Amino acid sequence: MPKILLQNTTAQPYELDEYHQFVCSRRDECKCTIERVVGPNGKLVSKRHPKSWRLTAHGTIGPLDPEVLFVPYIARLVKTGILKRIDVADEAPVKEN
Ligand SMILES: [Zn+2]
């Protein structure tokens, strides 16, 4: 499946969050970190740490699943040209941030 890169065209850093809410739920696959912690009643409960990224000034992040474009916050940044979407092929070298 093709991936995308998001390039920040501004000197303003952005936090990309809401990954679980929009991306995991669309994919029926959760890539977030789940931690098992002892809850207030003494039982083990799952605590989710949603995937998130920090996009530095003029930085590029990816490859990301194209579903991130369904995150309204990201869609808005792409639409206004603050983030530039770059499509990459499957064989492109992986650069995780
Ligand atoms: Zn998730």
Query: What residues have a C-beta under 5 A from ligand 1, the ion?
Result: 20, 24, 30, 32
Specify the pTM.
0.64
Residue 95 in domain: no
Report the separation in Å between the CA atom of 32 and the middle of ligand 1, taken as the mean of its atom positions. 4
Residue 93 in domain: no
Q: Which residues pair with 87 in a beta bridge?
A: 4
Residue 55 in domain: yes
Residue 94 in domain: no
How many independent structural domains does the chain possess? 1
Report the separation in Å between the CA atom of 75 and the middle of ligand 1, taken as the mean of its atom positions. 19
Low-confidence ranges of the chain (pLDDT < 70): 90-97
Residue 53 in domain: yes
Q: Which domain holds residue 32?
A: 3-88
Residue 97 in domain: no
pLDDT, tens digit, 9 for 90 and up, residues 81-91: 999 999 987 66
